[in-house]
Structure 1
Amino acid sequence: MSQHNQDWLARSRRAVWHPCTQMKQHEQLPIVPIARGEGAWLIDFEGRRFLDGVSSWWVNLFGHANPRINVALMDQMNTLEHVILAGFTQKPVVELSEKLGELTGLGHAFYGSDGASATEIALKMSYHYWRNRGQEKKTGFVSLKNSYHGETLGALSVTDVPLFSATYAPLLRETHRVMSPDWRLAELGESAEAYALRAADQLEALFKQHATDLAAFIVEPLCQGAAGMAMYHPVYLRRVRELCDEYNVHLVADEIAMGFGRTGTLFACEHAGIKPDLICLSKGITGGYLPLSAVLTTDEIYAAFYADDVSRGFLHSHSYTGNALACRAALEVLHIFKDEDVLATNRQKASIVAPDFARLSAHPRVRNARQLGMIWAFDVTDTQPGFAGRLFTAALAHGVLLRPIGSTIYLMPPYVVTVAELQQVFTTLLTLLDENIS
């Protein structure tokens, strides 16, 4: 490793507290210094290239240093970078809100800075709606087992990943958990659809007992990301929509990770043909350029806050709410989707590489191979504690950035990745499996 790289590593260890990290591990596991990005690739100070197989934590859609987004941001920087959104407005936030409303069928976008912020906003909106309607007992929330919705305290209360939540249990409010429709958990011979309906039956049982005390059910549509890309049948969402209507409980769709084309449609809820009461958006919304999140909701929910009484208003706020630069980047992302027919192109890429993924899926160490839109995932047998870190290190040596979740390896690359690059990643994964990293 060059002295330049070593200097950046040392400075980072001294000054930066890295997220989702036990910092002591970096005494042995090197931090990877990145000098620049180029399309689907990250490049270090020595010129080594790594294909960004996880879209830099699932945020990058159209590649690093995307020319179109760069131009849009330069133009916006020369016009307006930010203005307080309380009592003021500006062009990018209005245009983005209009566009998101058209695409989701919901309205009045409320902005935050990240995915956890969006979850907090949605939970507070739901609770406050019922309060404004005089149903103050409806304060409870329901989420799936193995769910992940963020790490602020409200979001963590509906998250079921003990690694993140157990330490903070005394600070969290009690919420309900119901069985995940993850088809990997089905009984032998039970179809994904049948298992999804069985999971929905458990939700119905909970609603029958507690609906008068429940504000909302929050769910990641079609795929629970942090649960190891746990995919499920869309019939679950259709049944959940029916149940939420029947029992008068809000349906919150956490599309933070699965929105903006990851599952093959612009929003994952489209697979089931349903519309949630509230939708949470973030991650890919700006193409990985700037922090931004949004929550959109029904006109009925918005109307419950519209009153002369200030306390009935939704007084949540962030200093950078509706930041003009972030909204401009998000607008350009939506223009790219339309101008370049991205969803159709992605479907074509996935179809072409299907035989390559099938060969990988047939490896004797692979179980539960699955693909949804631009997400490929599989579980590895015979792994030992620390497998994810060892696989991460080995993949870097082959020029690929991967971050396994437990024994699950997944690929969620930027949409600019080429067919040849995808095929090379699958070949690399076969090599890594043959190396018997466990």
Structure 2
Amino acid sequence: MTYSYDQLAQWDKQYVWHPFTQMKDWLEEEIIIVARGEGVKLYDTEGREYYDAFSSIWVNIHGHNVKELNDAIIDQLGKIAHSSYLGYGNIPATLLARELVEIAPPGLVKVFYSDNGSTAVEVAVKMAFHYWRQCPNPRPEKNKFLTLMNAYHGDTIGAVSVGGIDLYHGTYRDLLFPTIKVAAPYCYRCPFGAKAGQCEKECEQALEKAFAEHAHELAGCVIEPVIQGAAGMITQPPGYVKKVRELCDRYDVLMICDEVATGFGRTGALWAVNHDGVSPDLMAISKGLTGGYMPLAVTLATQKVYDAFYGDYAEMKTFFHGHSYTGNQLGCAVALASLELLKKHNLVTEAARKAGVVKKVLAEFNELPHVGDIRQAGLMVGIELVRDKLTKEPYDWQEKMGIKTCLAARKKGLITRPLGNNIVFMPPLVSNDEQLQEMLEIIKASIIQVTEG
């Protein structure tokens, strides 16, 4: 049975509550209903095509409708779609765990499955909190977390607690557990008043001060390594992640890295922590894990963390946490196929090369009078729109310049989503040079149309 656009749009507006969407605006706008995908493009019910310039919320690596990934799911579906992982194993989950440990940063040797990035972070936070209660020398007073301002780690309550974006998190403050927050290194607009790129010393001093003052109560330090995504694509100075690792070691604090957005080649390395040669104690991964095909997440842990939960049944050291779809066979099967494609097409190295292509094109954006700062880590890009280029005076958020620019781009055949007045560009890793340039030209033309039109 087929349905017309008018029918689908009517039912959508009547029955659906969309995430991160003001539904009053949604009900007043002409909406897009995606019908299919092919490569780096999406197609709506009316046959119009759009570049998927933000990888369908940062998850897509290989493009849409990829035969190898389709076949992996179909093959697994012919065997079993899902069975409980509580007290049972399954073939694709076992194989995927082995593959992930082989490619993970050294020392991460245990795989705990969940179903999305928020839960992967929740798992890491609970593991770190619990660790200090049953490690060889228990220290239950270590029950807080050091987090970065403007961090985003997901939307469940634990993940929100270690986040720091008031727009998303402020309303729920009374529900959250307290954390120790430290200013993140926003070198483009320094919280310490230094000129761009000259505040590394101040950032390190603030970080060290927080560790020194609170080490006795810190169970873990949670960071998005190299770049803070939802904050507006805020990049960290080289060596910052390594400094966090050094401080965690010095003050006996578990290091938790949220690689949900940055993993699987997105920053030009397989893991963002690889840029600084760092291994965390716990690492959350999701998004690109299945190539954007299925909900699946993993929390990777060291042997030290794992051993704190290992003991006789009567000791009650079990990690009492799980999900109905933990270790789901369809998700694990397509994740295995995705990892194979990463290797086959050398996508991580290619992503690093393509980042150079993107950087060269983005240099032209500096000529635009209403582009303030351009922040890039591999194929993760944020283009800041400002009222005044010289002073970098921002647009008032109520002017919705980011939203208007993305709507203009949509009419030109490109879909992305803004972060406030920052335009996100995060294309599938398989995008070729010509496609990358064409996508950026559409974004540039849309910026000009909205800010100068």
TM-score range, shorter chain: over 0.9
Matches of 1:20 and 1:4, distance apart in 2: 26
> Is contact 1:375-1:412 (8 Å) kept?
yes
Question: Higher mean Cα deviation, 362-371 or 165-174?
Answer: 362-371
State the 1:389 CA deviation.
Answer: 2.1
Alpha-carbon spacing, 1:190–1:163, altered in 2? closer, same or farther (3 Å): closer
Letter of the aligned partner of 1:23 in structure 2?
A: M
Per the alignment, in what secondary structure is the counterpart of residue 6 of structure 1?
Answer: helix
Letter of the aligned partner of 2:379 in structure 1?
A: M
Q: How does 1:113-262 map to 2 (within 5 A)?
A: 113-133=115-135, 134-186=138-190, 190=195, 192=197, 194-262=198-266
Matches of 1:322 and 1:199, distance apart in 2: 40
Letter of the aligned partner of 1:107 in structure 2?
A: V
Per the alignment, in what secondary structure is the counterpart of residue 436 of structure 1?
Answer: helix
> Is contact 2:267-2:352 (8 Å) kept?
no
Question: Higher mean Cα deviation, 373-382 or 93-102?
Answer: 373-382
State the 1:394 CA deviation.
Answer: 1.0
Matches of 1:163 and 1:108, distance apart in 2: 35
Q: How does 1:360-371 map to 2 (within 5 A)?
A: 360-371=365-376
- Corresponding residue for residue 109 of structure 1: 111
Q: How does 1:17-416 map to 2 (within 5 A)?
A: 17-104=17-104, 105=106, 106-133=108-135, 134-186=138-190, 190=195, 192=197, 194-308=198-312, 309=314, 311-382=316-387, 383-384=395-396, 385=398, 386-416=400-430
- Corresponding residue for residue 435 of structure 2: 421
Structure 1: gaps of 5 or more residues: none
Letter of the aligned partner of 1:132 in structure 2?
A: Q
State the 1:86 CA deviation.
Answer: 1.6
Structure 2: gaps of 5 or more residues: 388-394
Matches of 1:17 and 1:151, distance apart in 2: 16
Aligned residues between the structures: 435
Matches of 2:309 and 2:444, distance apart in 1: 55
Matches of 2:148 and 2:357, distance apart in 1: 34
Per the alignment, in what secondary structure is the counterpart of residue 200 of structure 1?
Answer: helix
Per the alignment, in what secondary structure is the counterpart of residue 209 of structure 1?
Answer: helix
Matches of 2:194 and 2:254, distance apart in 1: 33
Per the alignment, in what secondary structure is the counterpart of residue 296 of structure 1?
Answer: strand
> Is contact 2:405-2:450 (8 Å) kept?
no
TM-score, scaled to structure 1:
0.96
Per the alignment, in what secondary structure is the counterpart of residue 137 of structure 1?
Answer: coil
> Is contact 1:182-1:196 (8 Å) kept?
no
TM-score, scaled to structure 2:
0.93
> Is contact 2:234-2:375 (8 Å) kept?
no
Sequence identity (%): 37
State the 1:429 CA deviation.
Answer: 2.1
State the 1:13 CA deviation.
Answer: 1.4
